[in-house]
A and B are shown apart, each in its own frame.
Chain A
Amino acid sequence: MSYVTIENINKSFNDQQVLHNLNLAFEEGEFVTLLGPSGCGKSTLLRILAGLTTPEAGIIKIDGKDVTNVKPKDRKVGMVFQSYALFPNMTVEENIAFGLKMQKMNKEVIAKKVSRMIELVELKGKEKAYPRELSGGQQQRVALARSLVTEPKVLLLDEPLSALDAQIRKNLQKLLRSLQQELNMTTVLVTHDQEEAMAVSDRIYILNAGHIAQEGKPHDIYTRPANEFVARFIGNYNVLTKKQISLLIKDESQFTHDLYAVRPEAFGSEFIMDGYKISGKVQNIMPLGNITRYEIVSGGVAVTVEHLHKSYEKLQENELKTLYINKEDVIPLT
């Protein structure tokens, strides 16, 4: 029995079904990410878990207890919002202490816990600052501390880093992951950023229009997309029809599925014993810093290829090139 289970959840807004009979389960101490494009129902699912939105049907259990009809304030769930939602009339300290004060905890204990938390999120010296005096990244760390300090059973994060710029986002991802490991906190992150999901999660649920498109470890999802949606959403997979792949590889008998996915970096120049070979014209060369991206056109079909940039290997537009690929890197989709 998992630590958190979500069973047969359905939700509609104005007669439009947003979540379709969803079933998810999270283990204690696990970092799970709900990944999907904007509008697919991630936030709604998270809010249902927090008790802020009521589902039409389904059961939510946390730590073995059915909390489907329990109020948010009694669920022992922490949540961090994209908009931070810090209390503007309170200092950093007061914001973080708020949840403990609501639990009527002893003043000295509160002070101790708050100062430890401030250290953990690296905000020492900012105790007396008001939210408007902090940068976005600092505000989000206060919001994180405010939730963590109450030691919730589950920590919910709704796109907490999406409003921040790239560098700060990367740093906070690291901080988030290390805090989560240190506190062994069961964490559910919602994001539309697949790189972020890959970087921090133990496990990922990919959502598409209120359905679960795939579930698994980041590496498995990345290397084994189960369907077209996941292949297109994760990385820049080439998605090819049976006809296209047959034209490209000139080996019709092999391909029985309707659709295949091939990662751009799966192609290589070295000969592979038991692999496929494709030859074609190089087009649309794009140097992208440490990688070079280009297209190979063969039999009227174009595929995107990426490899590490090598300065001694000059590519020419329209040059003829032969590439090899492992058979298991041509992934059949369902």
Chain B
Amino acid sequence: MKRINGMLFVSIIPFFILIALFLFIPLFSMIYASFQGDGGTGFTFNQYAEIFQNFYYHQAFKNSIMISLLSSLIAMVMAIFAAYSITLFSKNIQDRILIFANLTSNFAGIPLAFAFIVLLGNSGLFTLLFRAWGWETLSSFNLYSWSGLILIYVYFQLPLAVMLLYPVYQGVQAGWKEAASLLGASSLQFWVRIGAPVMLPSVAGTFSILFANAMGAYASAYALTGSTYNLVTIRVGALTTGDIFARPELGSALAVLLGLTLIIAMFINEWLTRKVRRDLL
């Protein structure tokens, strides 16, 4: 028994080293740097003070939160219906659709932006096609705008949302549906009174993940709009890689605040869920 435990312990050491190297050390050095003056000149709150006073950074947070909320919401609503539809297929087809969703959810970043540019950019395939057919409203769609950005975000959020929600439907027992119907409930009444409340915690959890996924997205936005769109991740990128001049300490402070936003969002989510599902205390 002792020996096996010892072996187990040894075998998870690489895992701990990995976590330390790629999670804790970067995290702590980021937090540490955020309390340093430019160039690492001693402890100070100056970086945070600057962020709180600078309208430009307020706007970055506002934009990031807006696009994350909006794209998560749209993806969530679509996924609720999409995942349900998937459960109606035979097991075989369900598996195939999930593989497809898995693939597409990993299709993000610069390749995704490029794919969209090829299809919907100023001289994109569909843009030209719509123009040729005289579909003005569609051909005048501007990919490099706010709505273009939302479209791309929704595109990489949707498959993730579907994959996370699909198992949640499996958790809604067929027995509950049958019991409800024998007690006189319609399908809608079942979903409103039992299905939805039962799924709510997982749906809320999925929303948190989507929100974080969007808040942290960088490459697709950067590839599509350069640094013209003011998002927190693009600001952090610019400050650390030094598009104009590098200020890694300020970038670190922004990143810490981004992380805090995610944590706060998670707590709000959790709190709201518990208010609705009193039985989960």
Partners in one complex: yes
Using a CB–CB cutoff of 8 Å, the interface residues on chain A facing chain B are 50, 52, 71-75, 77-79, 81, 83, 85-91, 98-99, 102-103, 130, 132, 143, 146-147, 150
Q: A85-B175, A88-B198 known; A79 and B182 CB under 8 Å?
A: yes
Question: Does B99 count as interface, using CB distance less than 8 angstroms?
Answer: no
Q: A88-B198, A89-B194 known; A50 and B182 CB under 8 Å?
A: yes
**In the complex the two chains form, is B178's CB within 8 Å of A85's CB?**
yes
Q: Mark B259-281, 1 if CB is under 8 A from A, else 0.
A: 00000000000000000010100
- A-B contacts, 14 of them at CB < 8 A, read A52-B178, A72-B178, A72-B182, A74-B184, A75-B182, A81-B175, A83-B175, A87-B176, A89-B277, A89-B279, A90-B194, A99-B184, A102-B183, A102-B184
Q: A85-B173, A87-B194, A89-B277 known; A102 and B178 CB under 8 Å?
A: no
Q: A88-B198, A89-B194, A89-B197 known; A73 and B176 CB under 8 Å?
A: no
Shortest distance in angstroms between A236's beta carbon and chain B's nearest beta carbon?
Answer: 35
Contacts of A147 in B (CB 8 A): 182-183
Q: A89-B279, A130-B279 known; A81 and B185 CB under 8 Å?
A: no
- Determine which of A78, A79, A89 lies in contact with B198 in the assembled complex, contact meaning CB atoms within 8 Å: A89
Contacts of B189 in A (CB 8 A): 102
Q: How far is B169's CA from A51's CA once the two chains are assembled, in angstroms? A: 23
Contacts of A146 in B (CB 8 A): 179, 183
B179-197 contacts to A, CB under 8 A, are 179-186, 189, 193-194, 197
The residue of chain A having its C-beta at the shortest distance from the C-beta of B177 within the complex is A85
6 smallest beta-carbon distances between A and B, as pairs: A85-B175, A99-B183, A102-B184, A89-B197, A85-B179, A130-B279
B68-115 contacts to A, CB under 8 A, are none
Contacts of B184 in A (CB 8 A): 73-74, 99, 102-103, 150
Using a CB–CB cutoff of 8 Å, the interface residues on chain B facing chain A are 173, 175-176, 178-186, 189, 193-194, 197-198, 277, 279
The residue of chain A having its C-beta at the shortest distance from the C-beta of B174 within the complex is A85
Q: How far is B182's CA from A79's CA once the two chains are assembled, in angstroms? A: 7
The residue of chain A having its C-beta at the shortest distance from the C-beta of B197 within the complex is A89
Shortest distance in angstroms between B180's beta carbon and chain A's nearest beta carbon?
Answer: 7
Q: How far is B175's CA from A150's CA once the two chains are assembled, in angstroms? A: 18
Shortest distance in angstroms between A51's beta carbon and chain B's nearest beta carbon?
Answer: 8
Q: How far is B194's CA from A85's CA once the two chains are assembled, in angstroms? A: 11
**In the complex the two chains form, is A78's CB within 8 Å of B182's CB?**
yes
Contacts of A50 in B (CB 8 A): 178, 182
Contacts of B175 in A (CB 8 A): 81, 83, 85
**In the complex the two chains form, is B194's CB within 8 Å of A77's CB?**
no
The residue of chain B having its C-beta at the shortest distance from the C-beta of A50 within the complex is B182
Q: How far is B181's CA from A90's CA once the two chains are assembled, in angstroms? A: 16
Q: How far is B182's CA from A77's CA once the two chains are assembled, in angstroms? A: 7
The residue of chain B having its C-beta at the shortest distance from the C-beta of A129 within the complex is B279
Most A CB within 10 A of own CB, among B176, B182, B186, B193: B182
The residue of chain A having its C-beta at the shortest distance from the C-beta of B184 within the complex is A102
Most B CB within 10 A of own CB, among A88, A90, A146, A150: A88
Contacts of B186 in A (CB 8 A): 73
The residue of chain A having its C-beta at the shortest distance from the C-beta of B187 within the complex is A73
